[in-house]
Amino acid sequence: MIHKLQRQWYVWPEQSQFEPKTVENARQWDKVIGLVPQSVCLFKVFYYQTELIPQSEIRQCVDNELEQLVDWPEYQCHTWINKVQDRWQVAVWFWDKSEISFAQPVTHIVPAMACELAKVNTPEGILLYTEGQNTSAQSWAITWQGGKVIEQLYPMRSPLHQRTVAQRISEQQHVYSNQDHHSLLQGVELASLNLVPRSAVLSEGKCSNQFDLDNPWQYWRTLLALLLVLLAYMGADATLVSFKQGQIEDEITQLQQETFQLQRLRGEAQDTSKVLTQIELAQLRQRVPVQIIEALTTQLAKDVVIERLTYKPERIVLQGTIRDSLGLLETLSSLKGVKEARLLGEVVPVDDDRQEFRAELILLEADQWKS
């Protein structure tokens, strides 16, 4: 599925006789792999003690070795590193950089033979690699064991190598070849190569910043750095959130305390207001009799004689005499603070042409007298 999303295309150098040299259908995110012919490559195997040379310094050691071996102004190389017991085995393909150029930009540059070797799928075997139609002059055989530890590279120009390879082919169960018409392969059942090479081999020849979907682990340092940055950001964000949460909780606690204090003060104010209202109401009730007597004195007719006055907070009962009772009830009803006035019983004539009456005044509540 990944190889369908990011397809692989192979092109040969402009100086090569092989095709294709360009691909027209390559998309921007596809891999365009430049193949270096084995005929222009030199091959060398180096060994380094693992106790003396860490893996991170192998490339520098190889560069030092190659600078002593070649006199090219500039070279390129492809390394194949394996650990064999207590030694590093470093197989190196290297070539003159000035002899290799491609007609279009490539994402990887890999020796053609290393690319084919990366397609094998057995822990040991032999690969017979041929370029062109001249199987004797342009053929090489390479053997490996332990998965990918290279044993020997045999140029097939030598008759001695041809006899050695023929014997190895007859002894091997797993024989691979990129061409099946070689004379040494007659009657030999070839093992099938994988469709695409191992991503680790291609990564060694990567020459662009294109992301390899099939081998994301080569970016583990970048991914680890991004993960650490993400964790640091999440930690800082969690710390900030915790700090803000603490601030909000403190503010909520303070607001709750202030709210409780306000509620307490409001309760005290309401209690004080009730007490003051009761005091004011008591004072008004104390003034009611005085105001009623003053109203009776000023508003009743001169001939009215009040003989008896009985006061209760909600009513007053009057008893007296009057020359003419006509209009008496209306006058009593109009007095300030009187809600209703009525006569108690009949108006009875007495001596000296006077009439005796009893009246009841229903009073308003004391707090209503202010209006």
Domains of the chain and any CATH numbers: 2-217 (no CATH), 288-368 (3.30.1360.100)
The sheet carrying 8-11 orders its strands as: 8-11, 31-36, 108-111
| Cβ atoms of 366 and 289 closer than 8 Å | no
- Give the pLDDT score at 134: 64
Highest mean pLDDT among 119-133, 161-175, 252-266, 338-352: 252-266
Output the pTM of the full model. Answer: 0.58
Query: Which token pair is 155?
Result: 């140029």
Mean pLDDT of 162-181: 86
Q: How many CA atoms lie within 13 A of 348 on its CB side?
A: 8
For β-strands 354-363 and 338-343, DSSP reports them as antiparallel
pLDDT-derived band at 330 (thresholds 50, 70, 90) equals: confident
pLDDT-derived band at 92 (thresholds 50, 70, 90) equals: very high
Which has the higher per-residue pLDDT, 351 or 129?
Answer: 129
d(CA 42, CA 208): 24
Which tens digit of pLDDT belongs to each residue from 317-328?
988 888 887 888
- Give the pLDDT score at 76: 92
d(CA 218, CA 200): 8
1 to 6, 23, 198: CA distances (angstroms): 9, 21, 15
Which has the higher per-residue pLDDT, 364 or 66?
Answer: 66
pLDDT-derived band at 62 (thresholds 50, 70, 90) equals: very high
| Cβ atoms of 86 and 67 closer than 8 Å | no
| Cβ atoms of 65 and 49 closer than 8 Å | no
Tell me: pLDDT of 220 over 80.
no
Phi, psi (5° rounding) for residue 31? -90, 130
Tell me: pLDDT of 214 over 70.
no
- Three-state SS letters, 6-55: CCEEEECCCCCCCCCCCCCCCCCCCEEEEEECHHHCEEEEEEEECCCCCH
Query: Which token pair is 169?
Result: 């082919």
Worst-scoring range by mean pLDDT, 137-141, 174-178, 215-219, 344-348? Answer: 215-219
- Give the pLDDT score at 135: 63
344 to 177, 290, 348: CA distances (angstroms): 138, 23, 11
Tell me: pLDDT of 5 over 90.
no
pLDDT-derived band at 1 (thresholds 50, 70, 90) equals: very low
52: left (phi over 0), alpha (psi -120 to 50) or beta: alpha
Give the residue from 315, 318, 323 showing the smallest Cα distance to 344: 318
Query: Which token pair is 349?
Result: 């004539």
Give the residue from 363, 326, 361 showing the smallest Cα distance to 347: 326
